Structure formats: C-alpha cells, structure tokens
Structure 1
Amino acid sequence: MQACLNGGRGPGDAAVVPMSPGALAEEAVRAVAAGAVDLHVHPKSPCGGDTLSPGVLADTLTAIREAVDVPVGVTTGAWAEPDPVRRVERVRSWTVLPDHASVNWHEAGAEEVAAALLDRGVGVEAGLWSGTDGPARFLRSPLGPYVLRVLAEVTDPDPATAESTARALLARLGASGSASTAGDAVRRAPVLLHGEDGGAWPVLRLAGRLGLATRIGLEDTLFLPDGRAARDNAALVRAALAEGAS
C-alpha cells in the first residue's frame, strides 16, 4: 500500500492537503502508522506549485526520512517543469535522491528523464495513464526491463466506468488478471493499479480482487468510500485496507 500524500492539490482543494516539508513529514508518520509501506509526494515551491528544485526536494525528503523509515518517491510530472531538457537537468542536479520517482510515459522527454533517474540509481515508476499513448510508448521502450514498477493510472473519474477502464488498461499492458506482475509485454514489471477522484475507490477494490498493489491518499481522492471528507491520509489508508487493498 502506497500513500500519495498531496499530489498536485493545494489548500484550495482542501485545508488538510500537506504542502510544506514539515506537514508532509507529519502526514507520513500518520499514514505509515495506518499501514502504508511506501510514500509518493509532490515537493512544493513556496507559492504552492509542484517543483523539481533540488533544494526543495532535499528539504522535503530529509524531513520525511527523519520521521519515517519507508521508501519515498516523488513526481517528475511535466507540469513541474514543462521543458524536457530542463527536466533532465533538474534530475541530474538533485543533491538528495528519492528512492523512486514517477515518469509519465506519455509526456515529451519521458525516456530521457527515466534514463537520467536510472543513471543516478533512482527507481523508476512508469506512469502509464489510461486515455494516452503512454502504454504503447512504454511497450516499445528499451528501458522497460529496468523500471521498478508500472503505475497503471486510471484517469477515468466516473465511478460507473472506472473499473472497465482499468480492465482495458491492464489488457493493453498484457497484465494478468490474477497475479501481481504484468505479462511479457511489460517485461514482468510489478504493477501498481490506482484511480483518481470518483474512480479511486472502484479501481482500488479491483486492484484488491486482482492481487495488485495499489495506492491511496489525498492526491487521488479527498473522500472516504462513504462520501465523507477524509480527515487526513491516514484515514484514507485505513479505509483502503478495510476495502481489501494491498
């Protein structure tokens, strides 16, 4: 169970979304106590935007690692640095390294960003979004055998259709319906399946039934399965485990 503590959200989405290194560290403690064994965070600039700044990344990772002893990953999303060349430069300038970082394979420069991360010994989570050409591009990638895991990201927010969208995405990846690894098409990389917003809980339940790893947190949803607003990431993690997630 991975906890995604903040994502691209901010206080305008919900006051409970952690922004600063200290707030992320506090959320990490609660999420890990609730059962999370891995973390994904978006380091924030002083103005609240996602950033790949080496200084902000160092402060964020240091604060979290002083608080908990689990792997910590970060985003490399293009919204944090739109220029692909600059994005690679940022990765190569990091002074404190995350355990892993997500790379969205549909974004320009994904291969170069992933290669830079691998060169530095950082695990790569291959973000393969539904509704994009990311899966097809990844299946052709020579870096496929070297990724830490595949993040099968279901971007369909409709609770009525998110599960079918998830199944279609898994089929595109050649993933088994009952095992925790993908088929030969993704070189048997472990798959973490998750949804977002209204699709978060249906996709999480599907991941549990299929025996796939999953994640939950304020990045993916602000609400518990019964529709109540989540108090924090820990509440979402506890609810996810109660729903049969792993």
Structure 2
Amino acid sequence: MLQVCPNGTRTEGVPVSPAQIAAEVRAAADVGAEDVHVHPKDDTGADALDAFHVAETLTAVRARTPSLRVGVTTGAWTAPDPAERAALIRSWTVLPDHASVNFHETGAETVAEALFERGVAIEAGIFSGTDAAERFLRWPHAHHVLRILAEVTDTAPETATGTAKALLHAIGTHHSRPILLHGEDGGAWPVLRLAVRHNLDVRIGLEDTLTLPDGSPAGDNATLIQTARALLAP
C-alpha cells in the first residue's frame, strides 16, 4: 500500500487550505496513491483537530477522491491535553476513515479509546527513539488497530536505515497488524527503499520530504508518489 502524506506540520511549500489539499491528493491518486494521511489546518496554517476544520478538509478531499481512505493526525501539538483531544474527537461531525495516534505521547490510550468510540480505525504511531513500541505492545487493544505506523525520526541518510531496522525489531513480529514504515527528510528515501525490500506498506509526501532521491526539489506530492511508485514496481 502506498499512502500520500501531503502536508504534515509544515506551513510553507505544502497544501494548506482544503481546496489545495484536495487538489494535491487528487493528483497523487492519479499517479498511484492508495491512501491518505492529512493534517487539517486552521486559518493560520496550524494543525487543527476541531470539528469544523476536520470536516472541511475531509469533505474537500472526498469530493475529489471518493475512492481513497482518508486519515488525519491526532498529534499532541494540536491540543496538548489528551482529554481535550479526546473531546475534540467526540465532537467530530464528519469522520475520517482512520487517524494516527502517537504512542509515545502522554494520554495516547485516551485518544485511541475516543477514536474506537467513534468507529475510526487507528494507525498506531511508533516513533524511533521513544518508548512507544513498549507502550503499544502492552496496550490491551494493540491487535485492534488498522496498522502500525513505524516512524523513523533519524533524518541522516547514512544511519536512518539502521534506525529503521532497530525500530522494526522493537515492534517485533508477534502481532498481526500491517506495518507502514517511513522516514523523514534525509532519511525518507533510504527508509522507503528498506520498506520495499521488506514488503511493508509505505508512504511519501511533502510531510516526509521536500526532495527527490537525487536531492532535487520535489515540487509537489504527485511527483513524490510517482517516484515512489517506480521504486515499488517489480
């Protein structure tokens, strides 16, 4: 599975408005994106978890690409208090297909339970260099998540794949959920290649990197997806 992540926490050089995000996702879908992980934004460009901005973004994306499953972030930076994040999730009027929960963050279980209540599938975010894997594997509902989002925060091209291998080892193989492995910035392409070799789900987009494998500017999400699709080809 190839997921597009069109914007992330970035505010420049990425789509921000619902219309911009929807157009980028449509273009990415046209060249092979199969799933979406998006960060809804408020009027200042900051990530937003409130019902209005989530609904606005999801509605715009689905109008352009109704066949793709669409997920959103629930990162702690959107609302530091996990109880507040859970309350915002319970206020949603339009539901995503899935949402990421970062298990190194305080109150991740509270946020995940709110998503379960709403019937929203969970991408369990397991960041390298944290205790997220241990916390997630102790969680009684770990086997109910949609997938594990193995997130390599090591941005050095020379070491990112080693960090990725250590992260996969920490997650282990005794669970039944799919793993989506991805890196960021300088580590994005080395980690994607490793994921391809291990037959794991992958993602790419301007959230993860602004450049192509040769270091040149990517320009847009469709170019990144097209490049990743070529790497996935047998």
The reply to whether residue 18 of structure 1 matches residue 6 of structure 2 is no
Match of 1:209 in 2: 197
Root mean square deviation, CA, Å: 1.0
Name the SS for the 1:102 alignment partner: strand
**Contact (CA 8 Å) 1:195, 1:203: kept in 2 or not?**
yes
> AA paired with 2:42?
S
Contact kept in structure 2, 1:208 and 1:245, CA below 8 Å: no
| Residue aligned with 2:104, SS | coil
Instruction: Quote the residue 2:169 is aligned against.
Output: 171
Match of 1:4 in 2: 5
What is the CA–CA distance in structure 1 between the aligned matches of 2:76 and 2:193, rounded to whole Å? 29
Q: Distance in 1 between matches of 2:74 and 2:197?
A: 30
For residues 35-184 of structure 1, the aligned pairs below 5 Å read: 35-68=32-65, 69-174=67-172, 183-184=173-174
Aligned to 1:194: 182
TM-superposed deviation, 1:66: 0.4
Q: C-alpha distance in 1, partners of 2:32/2:232?
A: 12
Give the gaps of 5 or more residues in structure 2. Answer: none
**Equivalents in 1 of 2:63, 2:230: separation in Å?**
28
Cα drift, residue 245 of structure 1: 7.1
Deviations 1:141-194 (A, max 9, x none): 0110110000000000000000000000001111xxxxxxxx21xx21110000
Equivalent in the alignment of 2:224: 236
Contact 1:204 1:245 in 2 (8 A): no
Q: Residue 179 of structure 1 corresponds to which residue in structure 2?
A: none
Query: Could you list the runs of 5+ residues in structure 1 that have no partner in the other structure?
Result: 175-182
Distance 1:97 1:222 in 2: 29
In 1, Cα distance between the equivalents of 2:116 and 2:83?
16
Q: Amino acid of the residue matched to residue 60 of structure 2?
A: A
**Secondary structure of 1:79's aligned partner:** helix
Question: Alignment length, in residue pairs?
Answer: 232
Indicate how the Cα distance of structure 1 residues 102 and 245 shifts in structure 2: closer, same or farther if over 3 A, else same.
farther
- Given candidates 4, 24, 29, the residue that maps to 2:26 is 29
Amino acid of the structure 2 residue aligned with 1:28: V
CA deviation after TM superposition for structure 1 residue 244, in Å: 2.4
Q: Quote how far apart the aligned CAs of 1:241 are.
A: 1.3
Identity %: 58
Whole-angstrom CA distance in 2 between matches of 1:71 and 1:242: 22
Distance in 2 separating the partners of 1:206 and 1:100: 25
Q: Within 1, Cα distance between the matches of 2:148 and 2:193?
A: 18
Question: Whole-Å Cα distance in 2 between the matches of residues 53 and 230 of structure 1?
Answer: 31
